[in-house]
Each structure stands twice: as structure tokens, then as C-alpha cells.
Amino acid sequence: MKYRIEHDSMGEVQVPADHLWGAQTQRALTNFRIGEGKMPRKLIYALARLKRACALANQEFGRLDQLRSEAIVRACDEIISSTHDREFPLSPWQTGSGTQTNMNVNEVVAGLARRILGDALPPGGIHPNDHVNLSQSTNDVFPSAMHVASLMDLEDNLLPALSALAGTLAAKAERFADIIKIGRTHLQDATPLTLGQEISAWVAMLDACRHQIEQVMEPLRSLAIGGTAVGTGLNAPAGFGDKVAALLSEATGRRFFSAPNKFHALTSHDALVWASGALKALAADLMKIANDVRWLASGPRCGIGELTIPANEPGSSIMPGKVNPTQAEAVTMVACRVFANDAALTFAASQGNFQLNVFKPLIICSFLESSGLLADVMRSFNEHCATGIEPVRETIDRNLHHSLMLVTALNPHIGYENAAKIAQTAFQENITLREAAVRSGLLTGDEFDRYVVASRMVETLPE
């Protein structure tokens, strides 16, 4: 491998000749050989978006000449387009402020900008600190990037996947509105409802989660940029944060603003804790939906068997013809991971000292993994399971009329205790509710038929 010599404030470093990064990135590769993961690409792109806006702001404030500014903007655009993903190799297990990753982006942007200018490169070149990181500190740019990456992933990735799944289930709820089935509470038979009503609960869960996520997105629009090292804005021009937020908003088509209190923005990540809580709530509801689906589809002959789900792949390496609820299982595993990520993020956000939280890489990696996994698994579950859910009407009807809990309709006519005796007799003697009711002498067969009508038991009361 061929190398070139780069230098930083600590001296010279050998850097692979075929890469754009500089000395500080190379030192980080040597000093943080921890784990196999890399800093999320979505965060890298958010940093590039911020560097782009900062370059334009610095130009407007007269701190950066047009030639360098335009070169930095072009370099950032190339990074955002994913052209240079291989230039960002660092592990998230690094300094808690994210300095190594910020400098990785600064060095790559500077290297690209120098390449873009070529012979037109001005005296003094383009320096990763003096020009790309101008008017910034890792301490304000990294938390700003955390908010930008999180907000954009929620808007562009998670919410569309959530809406698609909710739409599929809403259509199923409407389509199955007339299918009366037995309800279940405590894993025991309960009074009837329609399959449409049962699925409508899943839809309402997802709608509530969407509303919650939309609420927690608002604090993510607040950016720490302009606070520099400790929140005072040292070495940044007055109004820099407002200008960067405005330029970023214009470039991304979303609303961002400069945090009113930069000291808070550097040291606290309560906005991401709240947002992670909304993701955890979504994961909890998805766990519930997936469990309901796989219970109702259990069987096909020795389980509940009221639903069928798509047979996507063989379910067993030894049992021929076995089909498993694999999509539901993927959902439940993702939910567990999101619960764990939320716990890690919450602990991390409670840490750090004085003017800076120093668990930032862990926080953003946990959040973006949760958001990304939830979006992916909702798309997968929607495409490979939810769209193919179908009722098994014969099984649903058999279970409905075999249930003892239809006896609840008799309460207003013969009282709770008498109705309970009928149900107990039917169960103990393995006869129908109707037979047990007539044998009790409390009502005739015609009266039983008139009172116990499943279709009337599923009617909802007007609000």
C-alpha cells in the first residue's frame, strides 16, 4: 500500500494514499480499534449538511472567501450523495463528544475541496480546522448533526413506513368489519367482537404512535450550532447559529432554528430521550400487533388458526411443509432491540459533566439504529405479512359458537350468577350453552335464541 505524509498539531502521520482523510482520522483508526461498527452514514451526511451551511454562513459574514466556500459546498454535496462513503471508517466507540468523527468529516471535505479546486487552490490551501470547521466546535456541530440526522430519518424513513402499515391494516379492518368472532382476554374466551374491530385497535395504536412521534420531532429542530466550545459562541460571529439554521432549512426543506440556550443544547440530550421514548412506545405497540397476529395465525390445525398469513419460506430444516410467522418474529426482535437502545440512550443522556455531555456517539447510534430498524421492519412486515392476512371464516365461526362467553348476553335477563351456572354446566357436561340453559329451567330455547345473538353483542354504544 502506498502512503502519503499528513500532519496535524501533534506531528506527521502516514495516511493511505488512496484515501482523502488526514492525520487525525488516521490517529483515530489506530487509537480506537473497538468493535466492528462504524459511525452511522446518516450522521455523516448530517455533518456534511451542516458544514455546507457553515461555509455559506462564513462567506456571508466575510470570514471565508467565495472560492473556498464554493469548493467546500461542492465537497459536501458529493458526500451527501453517498459518493465517498468509504472515507468514513471510524468506530462510534471514540471520544464522547464525537471529535474524531467531526475531524474525519472536516479532513475529507478539505481533501475533496482541494481536489475540486486543483490548480486554482489559493495560497494556504483549504485547512480542515481553519476553513471547514471555521466558527464551529465539535461540541456544537456534533449535537446539531444528531438532531438533523434524527429528524430527517423520522420524517423520510420511519413515518412513511408507519403510515404504509397503518394504511394496510385500516383497509383490513374495513374489509373484515362484518366477520364476528370471539374475543379473548387473559388468553381466555371473552365476549364477541368483529375482526374489523380487533384490527382497528392495531390501527389506532399506530395512529397514536405517529402523533407522538410528530410531537417529539419539534424539539429536534433546535440546533446547538453557534455555541462553539461551551455555549458562549467563542470564535463565531454574532448571529452565526441563526444564519446556519436558516441556510440548512432552505437546503433541506425543513424547519430548523438556533437553540435559544446553547448551554442547554451542548450539555443535555433530553430531546433525543423524549424522541427515543416515542420509538419505544411504537416498538411496544408493534410487539403487541405482531404477537396478536402470530397467536391468531397459530396452527394451522392445532392452534387458534383464525387467520392465515403468507407462506414466505420453508419454516423448518427438518419438518417438511412447516411455515412459521417469521415476519412477526422479526418485529418482536426489533422491538427488544429498541427497548435496549432506549435504555442505553437514557443512561447515556444522564451522563457527562458540566458544559458537555460526553456520550454523544452512543446516543445517536442508539437512536438511529432504533429508528432505522423500526422503519425497515415495518416495511418488511407490511409487504410480507400484513398485506396477506386473511380470515379463516369456518374456524372463526366455529370458535364463536363454541365459546361459553356468549352466556354474558343472558345477564340482564336471568342475572350474573344464574348465567354463570349455565356456563359451568355446559363446560362440565360438554354440552352447548343452549342445552344447559334449557336444562336449567330458567328460560326456554326460544328465549335463549332471542337473547343470545352474537351480531347484537358486537354493536358499539354511541359516544
Q: Cite the active site residues.
A: 186, 316
- Return the biggest CA–CA distance within the chain: 105
Show Cβ contacts of residue 253 under 8 Å, excluding neighbours closer than 6 positions. none
Q: Please list the alpha-helical segments (H only) found in 240-359.
A: 240-252, 262-267, 270-296, 326-349
Nearest of 34, 22, 113 to residue 72 by alpha carbon: 113
The C-alpha atoms of residue 271 and residue 321 are separated, in whole angstroms, by 49
**Could you give the angle at which helices 159-175 and 360-384 cross, rounded to 10 degrees?**
30
Q: What angle do CA 11, 17, 20 make, to 5 degrees?
A: 80
- Cα of 93 vs its chain's centroid, Å: 22
Q: For strand 257-258 and strand 222-223, is the pairing parallel, antiparallel, or unpaired?
A: parallel
* Main-chain dihedrals φ then ψ at residue 294, nearest 5 degrees: -75, -30
Exposed / middle / buried, residue 62 (Cβ in 10 Å: 0-12, 13-18, 19+): exposed
How many residues are present in the chain? 463
3-state class (DSSP) for residue 193: strand
Q: What is the DSSP string of 372-402?
A: HHHHHHHHHHHHHTGGG-EE-HHHHHHHHHH
Residue 405 DSSP class: G
- CB atoms under 10 Å from CB of 261, counted, come to 12
